[in-house]
Amino acid sequence: MVRPAFAFLLSLLLSVAAEIPPNLVVEGIPPIPPELRSQVEPYLNLGGASFRGWHGARREAVVTTRVGEVTQLHRMAEPKGKRIALTRGAEPVRNGAFQPGGAKLLYPVDEGGNENYQLWLIDTADPKAVPLRLTDGKSRNTDPVWSKDGRWIAYATNRREVRASDIVVVNAANPSEERVLLRNDGPGWGIADWSDDGQKLLLRVANGQGDTRLWTVDVATGTKAMVSPKAGKRVLVQAQFGDQDQAVYALSDHESDFLDVVRLDLATRELRRVGAAPRWDAEELTLSSDGRLLAFTCNEEGWSVLHVRDLTNGRERTVPAFPAGVLSALAWRWGSHELGFSLNSEETAADAWSVDLDAGTATRWTERTTKPKQPIVVPSPRVVRMPSFDGLSIPALVYQPDPVKFPGKRPAVILIHGGPESQSRPGYRGNLLYYLNELGVALVYPNVRGSTGYGRRYLTLDNVLKREDSVKDIGAVLDWATKEERLDATRLAVSGGSYGGYMSLACLATYPDRFRCGVDNVGIANFVTFLRDTSDYRRGNRRLEYGDERKPEVREFLERISPANQADRIRAPLLIVQGKNDPRVPVTEAERMRDAMRSHGGQVWYLMARDEGHGFVKKANNDFQFLATALFIQEFLLK
């Protein structure tokens, strides 16, 4: 006979265990207490709806909205109107592009986070239409671009050979009619734009950090020609045809430490800056369909500032006001001067907005469809700067919990971004607001050397043999924390994803007595094995950043600084999170770090998803990851 108390306990344990999503491998993580799940629940549905473009023939915005487990594309016929699904399926759809002047939608989908994107085409005007796959189902296909008349599609593919990046052109009306326009045996070739007259494609190829080349290829003959200057190295990104196909506008570090708008004359190859010398990096650029207005954003200490320049007279246009935040996915509506974009502000997750330069109006298209029962407090950040070991100024965003609810010195999590060519920026903190509002834990986001947004010199200060200097920057953050009136420097955790995962591990090994615990999310454990095992199309680019492990002196350095080889120094408990299908940082890196920690008696919680890649995107997996992380923080940082 089973005693009632034991039966109740058994049923409770089984109910908790049953809540682990079926594709997760969980090692060392205790059952999630029901009370924690209840506390966290209001913070698990705070996602927004990002802008992704316009309908090809009507004033309708295309946005992303989560449906069930994953994000899908939707269209909206009017601001704050009904969202009508355009795509469906078990895998997320994050981007898509409508046929200019038509109703066909082109969009990429991968499987389980493997990043081998397949291209799909569907006629949204036909409610019975079935999506048609344009690609082979297994290769990696990227940079799909419509011709301006909507008749043709071009994209880059590695289906011939894993390291190749061939350019293919497809007839949108008869997709079986395709041809390989250009064969490229090396990776890194992509499509930037299609000329207005339909005769040329604008291609880009990265020859390493700080060296981008632009080419045109004749669509009829396949003849290519390099159009960017031959002499010197420079970045050229966000490139688009302009001035009736006589020029290219792009963002470049030409004669500057910062990215700025430049004009490249296709006849003379003359490259010149469009405006005054910049003080901050420009980050996105787009031209209106009539070629008259050029919109671009500048990254000013993390916040986006939108500029619109009239190319007919060189003057800046007045931009209608909208909330401060981070802008992305800029796109002009065809035949108008209405610019759409995603806006991630401190108050709300990403929402779709537009500004009409002719009407002088700003329009918010989306609002969160699910709202918490009780208002969620949203603290604002402050930017602090601290001197590193060599005097370099290191910026950080700092979020503090309510001093009335949580008085005195508070524990903190230092969150380090990935990339390393990336940046922690202001914006809605989503489920991390739980740490601030319910646990009283401060959040510190340092932008160590190697981050974007602070000029090209700052970006390169961590390259190859200077890798440890970025870890020393975290030492400066730790020293700053000891002097902060509201931070408890004896209760610190470190967390990061991808390259930030490496940084988290390196900090635990370098400063073993300064951290209570750490989180490694899809992080690099050993640079030598990472470079060996990462996807072929990425290896050359990553060697330029981290060093070429085939050189003995570089290999020795990389082995020395790799966290898996320093596991004996790590004393704090570690949570490792990994996707099995990750093409960037393979699952073997997580396994290597887990095993190294265990071999030295370290405490490890391990979470692996069989149906995810470089980060969890499916809601059930993502929710469980956050619950496990919250439990980890409570157990090892707060107790």
Q: Where are the alpha helices (DSSP H) in 484-618?
A: 499-510, 527-533, 536-546, 552-561, 587-599
What are the angstrom distances between the C-alpha of 299 and each of 169, 195, 427, 517? 35, 29, 13, 33
Which DSSP letter does residue 159 get? S
Which 3 state secondary structure label does DSSP give 70? strand
Token pair for 590: 């997580």
Whole-angstrom distance, CA of residue 600 vs CA of residue 615: 27
Cβ pair 348, 368 in contact under 8 A? yes
Token pair for 443: 């959040």
Tally Cβ neighbours within 10 Å of residue 92. Answer: 20
Token pair for 149: 């008349």
CA 153: distance to chain centroid?
Answer: 25
By CB atoms closer than 10 A (0-12, 13-18, 19+), residue 507 is buried
DSSP assignment of 495-516: EEETHHHHHHHHHHHHSTTT-S
Cβ pair 600, 21 in contact under 8 A? no
Cβ pair 506, 524 in contact under 8 A? no
Which DSSP letter does residue 451 get? -
Q: Which residues pair with 605 in a beta bridge?
A: 575
Which 3 state secondary structure label does DSSP give 58? coil
Whole-angstrom distance, CA of residue 624 vs CA of residue 37: 9
Cβ pair 518, 575 in contact under 8 A? yes
CA 573: distance to chain centroid?
Answer: 28
- What digits encode the pLDDT tens for the residues 222-245? 999 999 999 889 999 999 999 999
Whole-angstrom distance, CA of residue 214 vs CA of residue 226: 6
Which DSSP letter does residue 237 get? E
Q: Which amino acid would we find at residue 221?
A: T
Q: Give pLDDT < 50 ranges for the chain.
A: 1-18
Token pair for 106: 């082109």
User: pLDDT at position 504, please?
Assistant: 98
Whole-angstrom distance, CA of residue 423 vs CA of residue 452: 6
Question: How many Cα neighbours within 13 Å face the side chain of 508?
Answer: 34
N-term to C-term CA, the chain:
39
Query: Model-level pTM?
Result: 0.94
CATH architecture of 21-45+372-638: 3-Layer(aba) Sandwich (3.40)
Residue recorded with tokens 């043999």: 465
| Phi, psi of 317, rounded to the nearest 5 degrees | -90, 150
User: pLDDT at position 370, please?
Assistant: 65
Whole-angstrom distance, CA of residue 261 vs CA of residue 309: 11
Q: Which residues pair with 240 in a beta bridge?
A: 249
Cβ partners under 8 Å of residue 357, min gap 6: 293, 308, 317, 319, 320, 337, 338, 339
Whole-angstrom distance, CA of residue 128 vs CA of residue 527: 50
What are the angstrom distances between the C-alpha of 162 and each of 170, 212, 589? 21, 22, 22
Which 3 state secondary structure label does DSSP give 61? strand
Whole-angstrom distance, CA of residue 521 vs CA of residue 334: 40
User: pLDDT at position 207, please?
Assistant: 81
Whole-angstrom distance, CA of residue 400 vs CA of residue 440: 8
Question: How many Cα neighbours within 13 Å face the side chain of 504?
Answer: 33
Whole-angstrom distance, CA of residue 67 vs CA of residue 348: 19
**Residue-range domain boundaries for the chain:** 21-45+372-638
Whole-angstrom distance, CA of residue 613 vs CA of residue 299: 29
User: pLDDT at position 141, please?
Assistant: 97
Cβ pair 340, 61 in contact under 8 A? yes
Given the DSSP bridges, would you call strands 487-497 and 410-416 parallel, antiparallel or unpaired?
parallel
E strand spans, 243-374: 247-252, 260-265, 271-273, 281-287, 293-300, 303-310, 315-316, 326-332, 338-344, 351-356, 361-364
Cβ partners under 8 Å of residue 573, min gap 6: 517, 518, 602, 603, 604, 605, 632, 635, 636
H/E stretch holding 490 reads strand 487-497
User: pLDDT at position 529, please?
Assistant: 98
By CB atoms closer than 10 A (0-12, 13-18, 19+), residue 7 is exposed
- Rounded to the nearest 10°, the torsion over CA 485, 390, 552, 569 is -30
Token pair for 219: 């669509």
Q: Which residues pair with 167 in a beta bridge?
A: 156, 182
